[in-house]
Structure 1
Amino acid sequence: MASPGYFSLQNIFSVAVRERCVVNLKSFKAPTSKLKHIPTKTAAVLIPICGIEKVPSILYTVRSPNLKNHSGHISFPGGKTVKNETPVETALRETEEEIGLSSSKIDVWGYGPAFPGRNNEIMITPVIGAIPKLTHMDLNVNYSEVSEVFSVPLDVLCNKDNHFHTQFKNNYILPVFVAENYKIWGITAYLTHVFLSCLLPKEIYKNEWMKKKIVLSL
């Protein structure tokens, strides 16, 4: 078990942890080899690593029930790219549109490879953004797109008692994280797993879902 000091703001937001995370993310192999074709549609999401009341946490949103697609799902701030946008520009723009978090508050660490989204219809690039000190005053939620914003401490996400998996009709499985009344699943859970794997040493973040008999394929 990690010592309490490992999850301190000083450690998580240190230069050494940042550099390790970015290097690992850049070299992470996206599971695209089994795709019949690579989608041409692209999107980007921000994975916000935040200091909330001195606790390192990841910020999530709950999509508005009024949206046509994936209403009520837990997700990261983000959306489709527009012409000539970089993944970073897309993630920052969508984050400000959805939850009112200004790009001036976000320290962009970098971004990883694009991952296939649900039903392999779009390629999603995760962008890592650090907000060492986040308060509710930094947010201005657009309730037409987002019904709720919540955070989960890193130590909760690393607790194996909160690790589950879901098996889809096509026999593929993906990780699931449970935190209080929230169930994080699908591509959001997978990107959470990727980020934690890149951010933390293996002895700190251990997720056993990949040891299941069914091989991962998005």
Structure 2
Amino acid sequence: MNWPQSGDPRVWADWLRQRMAGSPRPESGDFPFEQESRPAAVLIAIVPREGGATVLLTERAAHLPTHAGQISFPGGRVEDADGSAVAAALRESTEEVGLDPGYVRVIDTLGSYYTVSGYAVTPVVGVLDPGFELVPCADEVEQVFELPLALLLDPARYERRWVERRGLRGQTHFIEIDGYTVWGATANMLLMLAAALRITGEPRIVD
């Protein structure tokens, strides 16, 4: 993949729009099951850096009743007042990590991702302008950090492992980078973005 060699968000925004133009937006999910799903949205925030673009991620607070300690994107449930998945992703990003929506160049959305916890999540892809500041909400977020975009979007770096959640056994994706383990919905939505950008490669299946 020939990534933009620039820290300019305008270059990244143009490149992403061109790569994603006309690409399929298939839906995906944790496990093959049917249930009523509540709408939610997350922000896949790409941060242009001179040394290579990164993705903004959060570690959920350890005391939360669900997904405690897991690596996630900023996001949450779509409220009636939001009006759209994009608005919800931006609002939740402000609430969770203090990100000012004025620094986000929204590029596009991916297909819905259905979680085992009963949400239909719309990933919103955006590029951050320089100068943004973050103030994580301690009630929800343990820390905010960045991992390299090129590594996160390389399907060949992923493993597909068996897991059991809420009494359901199925396979999901894992990737380990810089001491962090990204798995489940977050890993799968990154692979959805890789597919939308037409990045080739296959995860390794672990028995």
Q: Using the aligned pairs only, state the percent identity.
A: 25
Q: Is the contact made by 2:44 and 2:125 (CA closer than 8 Å) also made in structure 1?
A: yes
Contact 2:173 2:183 in 1 (8 A): yes
Q: Deviations over 1:128-171 (max 9, x none)?
A: 111143x6x61111111101111111232255774222212455
The answer to whether the 8 A contact 2:153-2:190 is kept is no
Question: Greater helix share, 1 or 2?
Answer: 1
1:72 aligns with 2:69: yes
The 5-angstrom pairing of residues 31-110 of structure 1 reads: 31=28, 34-37=32-35, 39-85=36-82, 86-110=84-108
Higher strand proportion, which one? Answer: 2
Note the C-alpha offset of 1:198: 1.5
Query: CA 1:187/1:178 → structure 2, altered by over 3 Å: closer, same or farther?
Result: same
State how far apart, in whole Å, the 2-side matches of 1:159 and 1:21 are: 16
Residues paired across the two proteins, number = 200
Q: Specify every segment of 5 or more residues in structure 1 that has no aligned partner in the other structure, as ranges.
A: none
Higher mean Cα deviation, 66-75 or 91-100? Answer: 66-75
Structure 2 match to 1:163: 158
Q: Which residue of 1 aligns with 2:128?
A: 131
TM-score with structure 1 setting the length: 0.80
Tell me, yes or no, if structure 1 residue 140 matches structure 2 residue 135. Answer: yes
Change (3 A) 1:7 1:182: farther
Partner residue of 1:151? 146
Q: What is the alpha-carbon distance in structure 1 between the residues aligned to residue 111 and residue 181 of structure 2?
A: 25
- Match of 2:53, SS state, is strand
Work out the CA distance in 2 between the residues paired with 1:158 and 1:40: 27
Displacement of 1:213:
9.4
Give secondary structure in 1 for the equivalent of 2:69: coil
Is the contact between residue 13 and residue 132 of structure 1 (CA under 8 Å) also seen in structure 2?
Answer: no
Query: What is the CA deviation profile of residues 18-55 of structure 1, one whole-angstrom value per residue up to 9, with x for unaligned ones?
Result: 2322532xx22113795434x24111000111113542
Structure 2 regions of 5+ residues with no counterpart?
A: none
Superposition RMSD on alpha carbons, in Å?
2.7
Q: Distance in 2 between matches of 1:31 and 1:168?
A: 17
Change (3 A) 1:122 1:101: same
Deviates more, 1:182-191 or 1:64-73: 64-73
* Of 171-180 and 70-79, the range deviating more from structure 2: 171-180
Asked if 2 retains the 8 angstrom alpha-carbon contact of 1:22 and 1:110, the reply is no
Distance 1:160 1:42, change over 3 A: closer
